[in-house]
Structure 1
Amino acid sequence: MKTTLKWIGIGLLLCLLLIAGFAVLQREKVARLMAVNSLFSQDRIVANFTAMDTMFEHIALTRDDTIVNQLPSGAPMTLPTGFDLWSEDRAVTGVIVVQNGVIRHESYPLTTDDEDDPATSLRISWSVAKSFLSVLMGILHEDGTIPDLDAPVTQYVPSLVGSSYEDATIKDVLQMSSGVTFDEDYLDFWSDINKMGRVLALGQSMDGFAEGLDETFAAPGSQWQYVSIDTHVIGMVIRGATNRSIPDLLSEKVIGPLGLTVTPYYLADGHEVAFVLGGLNLTTHDYALFGNMVANGGIAFGNRIVSEAWIEESTAASAPTAEGAIGYGYQWWVPVGATEGQFMARGIYGQYIYIDRTRGVVIAVNAADRAFREDGVADSNVAMFRAIAESLD
């Protein structure tokens, strides 16, 4: 009897040790999951958006320290009436206005005690990152790596055979017209976008998440609907075509030649796959630097990064959006009422790169706007951007 109790005791001790070991191993994942659940809390959101690397797995990009392109400062502009109130209402953390390659306004209205110099803070892009991937796709398309945008995504990603993406083309996912069923409701805990966030936080596979989608609501190419996972599939296509990671490619072909001032990073899943649909972290200045390259037809400080033809094609409202609604190109937005050369990158909680090529104006905005989805907010942002651009005529 004593022997039996002894072995039971040893067994219980081993179980407790295994449980304790498992808890230690999982502690980081649990902490990340808790961080996701409080990421947008009113008392934390501003600080969180400049400290994403403390909450998620991430991958640093590389840049050539010999190439640093600081946009020069020019004469301060007169800001439109209502700018200060708009900035306060929209919880703007950083805003830079560039005209013809010269900074006309730079400010950081909402900061935290942890920011020694807000100009060097790396701020989360959210879906502004999608437009960076568009430029990378343009480079690979034009150098012949991915020659045909009408090719099926499964040509480069065989693992998507049998998924919702089986019949989608590269152009379909570029234009957000894949027809894949994906709930983008950030306010619904059980929505697909929030399930995806928990996949990221727990270090699970983003590729596996995309491969597991099996429902569609329309034939590919027939109807536009904003589906963020489409952008991850673009990343899968690029990785499949090159056998290289997105951070490596973006560092070599975009980040390095641009000459960013601070080394950026991507959030990543537990398989070292970059969160390409929204995980870039740059300074507000460097978002403006990227926007200035695009506004300049793909040229940054005399160095061509992508062709002007791709800039024009990718920023045209070519997706099958509803008549009279906002337009969409290849991971770029075209606001209602836009004239030629007006388009933008846009991310949740108020991240923007607004571009007016005709006026040579670029407006980079970072924010922590918890009211970003309320009626009229997006329109008021575009109205302010247009007012700023028009004031520089």
Structure 2
Amino acid sequence: MTHLRRVTAVAMLALGVVPVTGVFPVAAAAKPATPDVVRPSANPVKLQSAPRPLSVTYTYEGQRRTLNDFLTRTKTNGFLVLDGQKIVSERYVDAGRDTRFQSWSMAKSITSAAVGIALRDGHIRSIDDPVTRYLPELRKSGYNGVSIRNLLRMSSGIEWDERNDVPRVQVAANKGRPVKKIAARQVQGWEPGSAFEYTSMNSFVLARLVSQATGTPYHRYLERKIWQPAGMADTAQIANDGNGDSLGYCCVYATERDFARFGLLYLRMGKANGRQVVPASWIKASTKSSSVNPRYGLHWWLGGEGERDFLAAGFGGQFIYVSPEHNVVVVKSTTSTTPPDQEEALTAFRAVAAEVAKTRR
């Protein structure tokens, strides 16, 4: 039986990797709209089960630590390691292979892929176009004249507090209020392109941009352009606001193996089953440092320190980590509501990737 990972009201307080305090009233947390269904591929990318023991230790903040301790301490429910297309490690706690885990802000990296495909197909002329070229409804908002590029690199200039504004938007979406109207009320607080400010509303606007530019509902575009051609094996679900708009900044429910396939897609420079799904040029651009934050690309976090690795990251410790150097993908899912230490996670994942390469037969 397929499981859907349940999420508490407390867990819904944030959708990125930014710590959040407080709780919204239970009365305000209305029942969310029914998620949209994204159907799988008829030709899934085959992942071969080839388990082998991985003895992983790493040093963080002067302490020697183990992978097992890290996974336990961070309340990990799903953990999967790919050596190319071989599953060398897969473990679950109170979950299983059929569990659909909540992506939280890992969804932002999926939204980025959708933008890149729409750009390739000519639906978007240039990411240096103002977003209002495609969403004229935002011309009276702080998004007026802001480039798509600045939304992608989290430099829109919108006056935004991720701690407090995301919960409010989520509550509104759960109540069936159109998030596009909230986007149209945003104001500009600083010069776009001059700084980095993690802003989930940017990702909602990008998902709506894809929908409007292509004339296709976001979830259906994702199905046709990513989920099926990338060879996903299971149905996914995507949350919406009840008014036809996918949230874009969060809430893709998928299996651990399909999240791994998405990481594999980026490891393979956008190719799956011999087909170019995401343009290789977009993969390169997305995983390259921006001028406003050396550790962030176009909706992807970067490892930095001279390394080429990168990761999608979500609230509570959800990660898709990609190591081109070692040909490894790591996926980690959790129901924890504790803000994750992304630097420790990166250190642990690098140790995993190195161990996979070391033990490769």
Partner residue, 1:79: 55
1:67 corresponds, among 22, 27, 43, to 43
Partner residue, 1:277: 249
Shift of 1:259: 2.2
Matched, 1:330 2:279: no
> What is the SS of the residue equivalent to 2:228?
helix
Which one has more relative contact order, counting CA pairs under 8 Å at least 6 apart?
Answer: 2
One-letter amino acid of the structure 2 residue matched with residue 316 of structure 1: K
Shift of 1:37: 3.4
Matched, 1:352 2:319: yes
Deviations 1:12-65 (A, max 9, x none): xxxxxxxxxxxxxxxxxxxxxxx8635469xxxxxxxxxxxx85431111234x
1:183 corresponds, among 145, 158, 161, to 161
Distance in 2 of aligned mates of 1:55 and 1:168: 30
Shift of 1:194: 0.9
2:190 corresponds, among 192, 196, 218, to 218
Matched, 1:95 2:106: no
Deviations 1:148-199 (A, max 9, x none): 11110100000001101012111010111001011111xxxxx111100111
- Does structure 1 conserve the Cα–Cα contact (< 8 Å) formed by 2:124 and 2:213? yes
Matched, 1:57 2:34: yes
1:1-393 matches, cutoff 5 A: 37-39=9-11, 56-64=33-41, 66-81=42-57, 82-108=66-92, 110-111=93-94, 115=95, 118-185=96-163, 191-214=164-187, 216-321=188-293, 327-340=295-308, 342-373=309-340, 377-393=341-357
> What is the SS of the residue equivalent to 2:195?
coil
- Does structure 2 conserve the Cα–Cα contact (< 8 Å) formed by 1:36 and 1:197? no
Distance in 2 of aligned mates of 1:55 and 1:217: 31
- Does structure 2 conserve the Cα–Cα contact (< 8 Å) formed by 1:318 and 1:328? yes
Q: TM-score, normalised to structure 2's length?
A: 0.86
One-letter amino acid of the structure 1 residue matched with residue 185 of structure 2: G
Distance in 1 of aligned mates of 2:134 and 2:198: 23
One-letter amino acid of the structure 1 residue matched with residue 327 of structure 2: G
Change (3 A) 1:91 1:366: same
Partner residue, 2:3: none
Query: Aligned pair count?
Result: 326
> What is the SS of the residue equivalent to 1:317?
coil
Deviates more, 1:377-386 or 1:73-82: 73-82
Shift of 1:68: 2.3
Distance in 2 of aligned mates of 1:36 and 1:351: 16
Distance in 2 of aligned mates of 1:213 and 1:75: 49
Distance in 1 of aligned mates of 2:181 and 2:139: 13
Distance in 2 of aligned mates of 1:206 and 1:337: 37
- Does structure 2 conserve the Cα–Cα contact (< 8 Å) formed by 1:56 and 1:268? yes
One-letter amino acid of the structure 2 residue matched with residue 120 of structure 1: D
After TM superposition, which residue ranges in structure 1, 4 or more long, deviate above 4 angstroms?
38-41
Distance in 1 of aligned mates of 2:306 and 2:107: 22
Shift of 1:309: 1.5
Q: Percent identity?
A: 26
Distance in 2 of aligned mates of 1:358 and 1:210: 39
- Does structure 1 conserve the Cα–Cα contact (< 8 Å) formed by 2:108 and 2:203? yes
Distance in 2 of aligned mates of 1:319 and 1:177: 10
- Does structure 2 conserve the Cα–Cα contact (< 8 Å) formed by 1:319 and 1:327? no
Distance in 2 of aligned mates of 1:162 and 1:365: 40
Specify every segment of 5 or more residues in structure 2 that has no aligned partner in the other structure, as ranges: 1-6, 14-30, 58-65
One-letter amino acid of the structure 2 residue matched with residue 270 of structure 1: G
> What is the SS of the residue equivalent to 1:120?
coil
> What is the SS of the residue equivalent to 1:257?
coil
Distance in 1 of aligned mates of 2:281 and 2:11: 39
Distance in 2 of aligned mates of 1:103 and 1:79: 16
Shift of 1:371: 2.2
Deviations 1:65-109 (A, max 9, x none): x2222311124141303111111100101011111221111001x
Q: What is the Cα-based RMSD across aligned positions, in Å?
A: 1.8
One-letter amino acid of the structure 1 residue matched with residue 151 of structure 2: V
One-letter amino acid of the structure 1 residue matched with residue 348 of structure 2: M
Specify every segment of 5 or more residues in structure 1 that has no aligned partner in the other structure, as ranges: 1-34, 42-53, 186-190
